[in-house]
Amino acid sequence: MSDTSRLAQFYRQPEIYITLPGSQFYPEGTLELSATGEIPVYPMTAKDDIAIKTPDALISGEAVVQVISSCIPSITDPWQMPATDVDFALIAIRIASFGDEMELEYTCSNEECGEEFKVGVNLNQYIEHLGNIDISYEATLINYGDLKIHIKPLTYFDLSLIQRRSFEEQRAMEAASQMEELSEEEKQQAYQVILNNLTELNITSITSGVQGIELPDGEVVTKKEEIVDFVNNTSVKLYRKITDAITTIRETTDLKPIDAQCPECKNSMEVPLLFDYANFFV
């Protein structure tokens, strides 16, 4: 007897197919592409729905990883996907689960008004726009003397880690400022430690955006420690160039804000589509 349930054929089916904007940045073996480059997106299950509304799982990134694994199985390791694809993937999952029309609630930015109102958004436009983006090879390459620096978006893992650590350092900063038993000198020492950690964190985030450094003979250095040492021992000029390139890549996949007008005072404002995940998936 087969161990497949007779109900299996009635399990969820893909609702839409998408083309990932950052498909060239997935490490080998973490993305299964069809011949057309399109990948299927399934609706969320009840388990996914609960995960995406669990605050702790959201903060750690676990919830996002679980939901993407479940609904876009072609992405076999969501931690390794470019962070720039994450919002796009979640919009696709929202469409597959609940359809492409969505109502968002806003509060008028005019302080004297403060009216709360709803704006209808069609999510398909984001999928169409972002699905057609092609990040050029030139945008990912920096010439630096005889070296070529290859740039990539941060992985979701790197981004989550950096966000979490910078949040912790900020908390440590606040805690130190409120510790009355510390002398002024001890406080300065505590600040210095936190500042050093934040600087190190910044450099980590920059080096996470370096795919590899190509030597004049064509060999590419990809070892993380070697890249970190190199960035620590080169001019700030290169550091800035890398930061700019990472920003440019990120901006190509940024979601356009929504133009909204307050029905009460007619104040026009731009509001972000995303993202409070817990509210996005209602």
Which residues are near Zn ion by CB under 5 A? 108, 110, 113, 115, 262, 264-265, 267
What backbone phi and psi angles, to 5 degrees, belong to 81?
-75, 155
What backbone phi and psi angles, to 5 degrees, belong to 91?
-65, -45
Which residues, in sequence order, are bridge partners of residue 31?
75
Q: Minimum CB separation from Zn ion for residue 268, in Å?
A: 10
Q: Minimum CB separation from Zn ion for residue 108, in Å?
A: 3
Contacts of 139 (CB under 8 A, 6+ apart): 151, 245, 248, 249, 252
Please, which residue, 107 or 202, has the CB nearer to Zn ion? 107
| Under 8 Å between Cβ of 21 and 135 | yes
| Under 8 Å between Cβ of 201 and 169 | yes
Please, which residue, 50 or 113, has the CB nearer to Zn ion? 113
Q: Minimum CB separation from Zn ion for residue 110, in Å?
A: 5
Please, which residue, 121 or 269, has the CB nearer to Zn ion? 269
Please, which residue, 265 or 278, has the CB nearer to Zn ion? 265
Q: Minimum CB separation from Zn ion for residue 242, in Å?
A: 42
Please, which residue, 99 or 114, has the CB nearer to Zn ion? 114
Q: Minimum CB separation from Zn ion for residue 272, in Å?
A: 18
Alpha helices (H) along the chain: 46-52, 55-60, 62-71, 86-98, 124-131, 156-178, 184-208, 224-232, 236-252, 277-280
Contacts of 160 (CB under 8 A, 6+ apart): 60, 61, 79
Q: Minimum CB separation from Zn ion for residue 115, in Å?
A: 4
| Under 8 Å between Cβ of 206 and 195 | no
Please, which residue, 60 or 267, has the CB nearer to Zn ion? 267
Q: How many CB atoms lie within 10 A of CB 213?
A: 20
